[in-house]
Amino acid sequence: MKKKLMFKNFSIYFDQYLFISITLLSVMGLFFLYSASQGDLNTVIKQSIFVGFGLFLMFILSQPDPDFYKIFSSLFIVLAVVLMFATMIFGREVNGAKRWLNFGFFTLQTSEIIKIALPIFLASYLYNKPLPISLKHTFITLALICFVFYLVYSQPDLGTGLVVFMAGIYILFLAGLSWKFIFTSFGLLVLSMPFLWNNFLEPFQRQRILTFIDPSSDPFGSSWNITQSKIAIGSGGMSGKGYQEGSQAHLNFLPEAETDFIFAVIAEEFGFIGICVLLSFFFFILLRCIYLAFNARDRFCRLTIGGLSLVFASTLFINLGMVVGIIPVVGMPMPFISKGGSSLLSFYIAFGIIISMATHKKLMQK
Amino acid sequence: MIDLNERYAEKKSFFNRLVVVYVFFGFVFSFFLYQTYSLQVSEYKDYETAAIANKTKEVLVQPVRGIIYDRSGKIIVNNVPTYDLIVKASLIKSIDAFLSDLSPIIELDSDELDYVRENFDLKARYNRELIVKKNLSKEEIAKFEVRGYKFPNAFIDVRYSRYNNYPELFSHAVGYVGGVNNDELASILNSQALPQIETIFKYSNGFQIGKTGLESTYDQILRGKYGKKIFEVDARGRFVEEREFIKPTNGENLFTTLDIEAQQVAYDQMDNRRGAVVAIEIDSGSIVSYVSTPSFSTNAISNGISSRAFNALIQDNDKPFFDRASQGRYSPASTIKPAIALFGIENNIVDWDFSMEDPGYFILPEDQRVYRGWREGGHGNVNLNKAMIVSSNTFFFSLAYKSDINKLIEHLSKFGFGKKVCADCFNPDKALLPTPEWKMNNLNFGWFKGDTVNLGVGQGYLSATPLQLAYYSTVLANKGTSKELSFIHEKQDIKNLNIQLNNTDDLDWKRLHQSMIGVIESPIGTAKRLQELKTYTVAAKSGTVELVSTDTKEDYKIIRENEGNRDHAIIIAFGPMPNPKYAVSVVIENGESGGSVAGPVAIEVLNSLIGK
């Protein structure tokens, strides 16, 4: 239930279901991270500071009225785009990719901001457009989505780029994109596939996809990750090897065990049962988001809740699909579990906004 | 103002679309769960195995090789510990600093320094041990023990080297060990059902395998069973910890029938001349002495030899590596005569009363070709006994002339000619017992009567190894009964190889022995010079192998200027008579006289065996 706690003059906006499940998930994440980082207490302490700050941020961001987000959404997106450009110029280069902006105490992955700013802006742009969305608005929206996608993609960060792209498309779809347009463009997309393959994918990205289709083509290159991840998950069995007993993670066979592949560590140590328990939390959060979306006060809130929760779900599924080997490796953290500041905080921010959208009711319907 | 109908439509549309997306996600989610389920439950076994294979690395541990004893329990080959300085490379920050700290205690030469510097990085990366110096001296060990606290990451470890107490005496009989090559290791591991191992460890552990002689023949027994250490490794192949240590089973000791003293006597007597001595204990068929000279040090070969010294051995014209005892092919020459005599008796061609005139040559009736004896003018009237004692070629030419070649070949093969006579000798040669088929196939000529005549005096195509001659000598001594020769007493699978002679009785054998005793004891015997060398009776038959055929003694004097043209000296002997215990054969290349050159060697070996 949405709660509006009354304290004399002001109200506190709060959804206990989301708050409790996200807190539990975060604590479980710290617990898993301790094992995945091979008992590195520093990593866990740093992460728990982010978690604590994140939960606080989530609480703070659920207080403003949705109108605040609606009004300032243009400012947010402009700010996010500026940050993206700043990253392009001042960003820290790691492994040939410029994704981080250094603020001294904190390095920000700016694509995480735009991942949230874009859906909110699009929701505020489309909430008052008549159904179905006209071709003009559709193209304006698509242009914006493509522009933002390109900014992220050129860092290069295909994974986050895809999530940003999908976030935009969700909003457009939920806002009432005409079915005619959907089918036409889908047909065109299929036809232009070869062109996109040749011109838009970097050689290493093509290699990843090819490796994914035929893992034996590259036994020690990019499929090493997939192979080791599958071994980790598979060898966990029904009940797992036990906490901190996962040999794949602890002997470094598993790459990126603290970040992208943390799910494999959990699967190895807690087995299929552990995975089911963990996923039920995610499942619960997503179901709760549907409920909140239906009961939101207006179209803007609905679109925002729908869009942000789908960003969350997409991130989760891309991560899981990658780790169990059903989609190529793109580099995507597991929400609330994987190590990492920006991506972790971005979901607390997203859920803070979701809660704001869900808990604020207008006393009078317009 | 948005009207209510429109609001309702919008809400419904949103609801439908969100459901579409969630249903889609639901499918993805189900598919994902299914994938996890199949990995963790359906294919669990495969992945469990893969995870275990990932993290374990097995390293073989070589067992200590069995000791080889002589027949009185003295050690011939032992394992001596050598001490190596080893470091845990990954724990050492700077190898140069380490080496300079080490230099006042243990000095390394430039080769050793190069080895350490070249291998350090690799060993450090994989957390392996690095051998800094091999074969530490006692002083070096003592110094390191005192100041070792400065080097917490270095330690001294023991390794066993194969050490032959008589390195030149047994070089061909016992042989040597060497490093295991990949194929050999693979077959050893296969036989023990062990998995393939890691090559980085192979050489530093010094895995050995018998390369020649008994070390090779009995390698499986001496070797023992490999143990293994199972390590947990991480993704980079670094050793994390030792999980399991299955101890190796050490090799079994080998108790041979070899006699160190007789071996020493034989070796000393040969005095580095080219040739071989083989002595047999008659009752058991066991080899008590087995010498091929010149020889080389097996210790040098087993434990490292400079390439210059090795090349010198390889290029030595006397071929020290060549095992003359079991691979040298020599014409038996006159030593064949006892067997031919037995053939004559068995086939009623001659008896002990038969006699004939020996003018010093035999003329082949078919083509009037002259076959000469060794003594100009001949030996006068000779019977079988005298023909043996004086080694009358004429008598045996004539005997052979009357023989059926196929029967003769069959008869000779019973004495071990052209056959394998030893159960456990290393790579023995069968030499050659020629047959008409062999001659036709190899030389494209039919068998001439003259070939049979030549066979009667052990010349021509016939050849035998000293080992076969020793066996032959044993068969003669034991009156036709013998066992396959062997280095191991009471070897299980030893064959009895009795000769079936129907027309030859004990008296014939006694008379044959008597004639062979006469070779030494008779004043006209070809080996009469051996009389004073012993205190008991010995039966013998000497031989002189003609390498170049000459018609006169003058001609021989010319060709003997070249040492390689000189006759080989050869003798077979057994004693003490009348109940012989040991049989011996001696071949000395280019020694010229069987009786007076090879003879003393044979007698001294018998002395050392019988004198006890």
Look at chain A and count its residues. 366
To probe the interface with B, which of A324, A332, A362 has the most B CB atoms within 10 Å? A324
Apex B135 CA angle, B223 and B92, nearest 5: 105
Residue-wise pLDDT tens digits, A145-173: 999 999 888 888 888 888 889 889 988 89
The single-letter DSSP state of residue B91 is G
CB contact under 8 A, B48 and A235: yes
Rounded Cα distance, A362 and B42, in Å: 53
Pick from B6, B37, B52: CB nearest A272: B37
Burial class (CB in 10 A: 0-12, 13-18, 19+), A260: buried
Contact B6 A131 (CB under 8 A): yes
Q: Evaluate whether A275 touches B36 at the Cβ level (below 8 Å).
A: yes
pLDDT of residue B2: 53
Confidence at residue B200, expressed as pLDDT on a 0 to 100 scale: 37
CB contact under 8 A, B235 and A252: yes
B9 contact residues in A (CB cutoff 8 A): 131
| Residues A224-250, mean pLDDT to the nearest whole number | 88
> Interface pTM (ipTM) of the complex?
0.85
Yes or no, beta carbons of A366 and B1 under 8 Å apart: yes
Rounded CA-CA distance A137/B252 in Å is 91
List the structure tokens of B297.
């040090």
The alpha carbon of residue B60 and the mean position of all alpha carbons in its chain are separated, in whole angstroms, by 26
* Partner residue facing A247 (CB), from B14, B28, B55: B55
Mean pLDDT of A277-282: 94
* B 217-236 near A (Cβ less than 8 A): 232-236
* Angstrom distance (rounded) from CA B570 to CA B586: 6
Please report the pLDDT score of residue A162 as a whole number. Answer: 87
Query: Residue A9 pLDDT more than 80?
Result: no
Contact B44 A248 (CB under 8 A): no
Q: Which residues of chain B have pLDDT under 70?
A: 1-3, 181-182, 193-206, 304, 490-494, 612
Catalytic residue among B204, B289, B302, B334: B334
- In the prediction, which pLDDT does B491 show? 63
With CB atoms and an 8 Å threshold, state whether B46 touches A234.
Answer: yes
CB-CB under 8 Å, A131 with B39: no
Collect all residues of chain A within an 8 Å Cβ-Cβ radius of residue B29: 283, 317
**Domains of chain B by range and CATH?**
58-255 (3.90.1310.10), 261-313+321-610 (3.40.710.10)
Contacting A residues, span 20-49, partner chain B, CB-CB under 8 Å:
none
For residue A302, list chain B residues with Cβ-Cβ distance below 8 A.
11, 14
Look at residue B494 in the predicted model and tell me its pLDDT: 67
Question: Is B334 noted as a catalytic residue in this protein?
Answer: yes
The radius of gyration of chain A's CA atoms, rounded to the nearest angstrom, is 21
Give CA–CA dist B519/B540, Å, rounded.
Answer: 6
The rounded percent of chain B whose pLDDT value lies above 70 is 96
CA distance B423 to chain A (A): 52
**CB A251 to CB B11 under 8 A?**
no
Amino acid B139: pLDDT: 86
Q: Which residue has the tokens 């479980």?
A: A28
Amino acid in the structure at residue B404: D
pLDDT in tens, A100-145: 888 777 788 888 899 999 999 999 998 888 877 888 999 999 999 9
B271 touches chain A (CB under 8 A): no
- Which chain A residue shows the shortest CA-CA distance from B28? A317
**Nearest-CA residue of chain A relative to B9?**
A131
pLDDT value of residue A2 = 47
Taking an 8 Å cut-off on Cβ atoms, the answer to whether A293 and B18 are in contact is yes
Q: Which residues pair with B79 in a beta bridge?
A: B162
What is the structure's pLDDT at A274?
Answer: 94
Q: What is the pLDDT of residue B246?
A: 85
Give the whole-number percent of chain A exceeding pLDDT 70. 92
**Chain A residue nearest residue B36, CA to CA:** A324
Nearest residue on chain A to B29, alpha-carbon basis:
A317
Model pLDDT, residue A185: 85
Q: Do A237 and B44 touch (CB under 8 A)?
A: yes
pLDDT given at position B238: 75
CB atoms closer than 10 angstroms to residue A12: 13
Query: Which of B18, B40, B52 faces A306 most closely, judged by CB atoms?
Result: B18
Find the residue in A nearest to B241 (Cα). Answer: A251
CA of B37: which chain A residue's CA is closest? Answer: A272
Evaluate whether A331 touches A97 at the Cβ level (below 8 Å): no
- The Cα-based distances of B64 to B181, B192, B218 in angstroms read 18, 16, 14
B241: chain A residues, CB-CB within 8 Å: none
Distance to chain A for B204, nearest Cα, Å? 26
Are A260 and A318 within 8 A, CB to CB? no
Interface contacts A/B by beta carbons within 8 Å: 128
Chain B residue with minimum CA distance to A277: B33
What is the DSSP code string of A5-23? EEETTEEEEEEHHHHHHHH
Max intra-chain CA distance, chain B = 153
Residue B333 falls in which region: left (phi positive, over 0), alpha (psi -120 to 50) or beta: left
**pTM assigned to the model:** 0.68
Which whole number is the average pLDDT over A300-319? 92
Interface test with B, best of A128, A174, A266 (most B CBs within 10 A): A174
Q: Please, which residues bridge with residue B177 across strands?
A: B210
Q: Chain A window 176-215: which residues touch B at a Cβ cutoff of 8 Å?
A: 176
Nearest to A85 by CA among A148, A167, A25, A42: A148
User: Would an 8 Å CB–CB cutoff place A317 in contact with chain B?
Assistant: yes
Nearest CB partner across the interface for A237, out of B6, B40, B50: B40
Interface of A with B in 269-288 (CB under 8 A): 271-272, 275-276, 279, 283, 286
Q: SS3 for B119-161, per residue? A: HHHHHHHCCCEEEEECCCCHHHHHHHHHHHHHCCCEEEEEEEE
What is the domain partition of chain A in residue ranges?
Answer: 69-200
Check A234 against B21: CB less than 8 A apart: no
pLDDT for the residue numbered A128: 86
